Amino acid sequence: MTTETIAPEIGETQSPTVNTNVRNESFYLQRFKNCVDDRGYANHGRIEDTNFSCEIYKGFAIVTWQQEWNTPTQGVTRKTFNNYVWEVGGVFDNLTSLGWISQGCVATGYGAVSLEQTIKKARKKVDLLAELYKHKQELQGLSHANQRRISYQNDTPLYNALVGDVVAISAFGRTRLGKIVKLVGSRFVVAYMTPSNSHDVHYKTLPLTHLYPKD
């Protein structure tokens, strides 16, 4: 791990800027725990116990918050598990404190069965994120390319498409250029970014009839 530069004191919330240092598990875990304490998230009257864990998996930090809740039946507790995912090396690594617990997250999740199941679900989500974020630099360029608006009356969808193809899709009310990163059955997972956000990679799972030529 590279040596970290001196950061502002915990408790300050800064605007994110690009950070060239790689953070480790203890950084994400302590930052999250500080936010929970500082913002009073754990001060719910029914929370009896709370535990935290963190792992870095495929370039993403997964923080899991386990809570034990007192139920109306005396002596019975209920456990819940929430996970929060940050991109390691992403822009929000520069924040040494969070304004809210999910600030900068690329994904969140919930579980009520077991810690193991919750982490397994988080890893499955990260498997997809890792595939999407591999194309981040290319997607940033595509997001700024001039693209005419799709006309559903006049434009013809693609008759064939392959993983790796660049296609035009409709997302956030506009035509976007995206890249097919994987197939799920007969549907295509298309990764894309927006010109106003150079950090987050989005995706849509679409049938072939919703994919259009890039030109």
Whether 40 and 25 have beta carbons less than 8 Å apart is answered as no
197 lies in a domain? yes
pLDDT digits (tens, 9 = 90+) for 79-94: 889 999 999 999 999 9
Residue 181, pLDDT above cutoff 90? yes
Taking residue 202's Cβ as centre, other Cβ atoms within 10 Å add up to 17
pTM above threshold 0.95: no
Same domain, 69 and 114: yes
Choose one of 87, 112, 133: the last residue of a domain: 133
pLDDT digits (tens, 9 = 90+) for 29-79: 999 999 998 887 776 666 767 899 999 999 999 999 998 877 766 666 788
The whole-chain average pLDDT of the chain stands at: 85
Across the range 186-215, mean pLDDT stands at 93
| Element (DSSP H or E) covering residue 53 | strand 47-57
150 lies in a domain? yes
Amino acid letter, residue 106: V
CA 197 – CA 175 distance, rounded (Å): 16
CA 211 – CA 215 distance, rounded (Å): 12
3 lies in a domain? no
Range of the domain at 141: 136-210
Choose one of 133, 168, 197: the last residue of a domain: 133
144 lies in a domain? yes
